[in-house]
Structure 1
Amino acid sequence: MCKKALISMALILMLASSASAVPVNCMTLNTVADYVTQNAGGGCFVQDKLFTNFSYTGGGTVGAGLVGVDVVFSVLPTQDIHGFILNPAAGAVWNTSFTFGYTIAVNPPNPAINITGAELQINLGVTAGNPTTAVSTKGNGQVESTSSVLLTDTDLFAGVQSLTSSTVVTIPTGGFLISLEEDYIETINRISEPATIIVLGSGLLGMVAWSRLRRSGRSRP
C-alpha cells in the first residue's frame, strides 16, 4: 500500500474516532453498563454538567447491566440539583455490594454565574447496620461525605466559575434503592447598589462635561 493511501486511511480513522466521541444526553442511558460504555463516547451531559469516568465494581450476581439509572435534575432560583437514582433493572435483585463512581465537570454558560456551594445528599438507602455511603471530592479541595445515616453534607466556599467533582457511592449487600443527589449553589454576580450609583453618577457627569464642551465650542467666533 502506498504512503498516500496509508495517510488517508489514518485520517479517516482519526475522523471516525473523533466523531464517535460525542457526549450524549444522560436521559438516554438506562443502566450503569450503559454509562460505563459511554466513557469511550465522551460521557453524558445534563444541562451545564458533563459526567465522565464512570466506574463500577461489584461481585456475585450484581452486574453493571442489572443496575438501572434514572437521572435527577432540577433548576431552582439559587440551586442546581443533579444526581442519580440507582435501582434494580428489569426485576433484578441486589444481594451483594457494589460501588458506582463518576466525575462531574460543572461549567455554567453565563460567566456572571459563580458556584458558591455544594451539597451531597442520599434520599433513600439501607440504614440497618450497613449504611450506603457516598464521598465527593471537589477540584477546589472540598470533600463531602454522607451516608444513609447522615443524610446530607452541605458546604459553602469561595465562588468559582467552574468546578470538577469525583464521586463514589457504595451500596451495601441487600441494598435495593438509593437516590443520590449533588446540589450546586450557583450565584449570579450583581453590581451592588453603591457601585451602581457611582457608575450612573460618573456617566451623568461625563454627559454634562461633554455638553458644556459642545456649547463652548459653538460660542467661539
Structure 2
Amino acid sequence: MKRGIGWLTSGALVASLGLVSAQAQAQTDEVVEQIELGLELYQEEEYGAAITELEFAINDIRQLMSGRIAETFPEAPEGWSAGAVESAGGGGGAAAMFGAGGSMLEREYLQESGSGRLTAKLMIDNPMIQVMSAMFNNPAMIAAQPNMERIRIGRDSALLKWEPERGNAEVSFLMDGRILMQVNGQGLESQAPAVELLEAWDLDAVREQAAR
C-alpha cells in the first residue's frame, strides 16, 4: 500500500528523531536568551517589551513540552503503519501547544493488509476531559451507553465502546483527572487492536512529561 509523506520507515524515523533533538537543543538555547532578555528589559522598566519576550519564551517551552509528549505515542503494532504525531484538528505537527485551554495530539495507524484504521489521541487540560471524567466515575452513566463497558488497563479502569456491526471501537483512559488518552478504530474485526494499542502506550512517560 502506498503511503504519503506522513508515514515513516524506521530509518526515516531515526533520522527524524535526530533532527528533532537538534532542533530542541537550539530551541532551548533560544528560550534561555529570551528569558534573559526579558529580565534585562524588566530591570530597565521596559515592561511591554519584557512581556513580549517572556511570552515568546513560554510559547517555545510549550512547543518543547508537546514534542516530548509526542514521543510517548506507541509505535505501530505488527502489520500496521504509523503516521507522524500531529495537532488534532490539523496543522502544527507535534509542536501543538498545551496552553490554558488545553490541546490535543493525535497519531494515525493504518492496517497494511486490511482496511483497519486507528487514531490515538492525547488530551491534557482540555475542557472535554471534564465531560469524560463524569462518566468514568458514574457506573449508571456507563451502563446507559449502548455497547459500552468498563475494562482494565493494568490495575486501572478504562472505557470501551465496541460496535461489531460497524467495526468501530473507542477505548478511553483517564489519568490523574486531567490527561485523557483515547484510541478510536474503524474497519476492525474486533476491539483487540484498539485496546492493545492503548495498553502499549507508555503511561509513566506521559505522566512525567505532562507534569505541572
TM-score, normalised on structure 2?
0.27
Q: Which has the higher helix share?
A: 2
> Larger relative contact order (C-alpha < 8 A, sep ≥ 6)?
1
TM-score, normalised on structure 1?
0.26
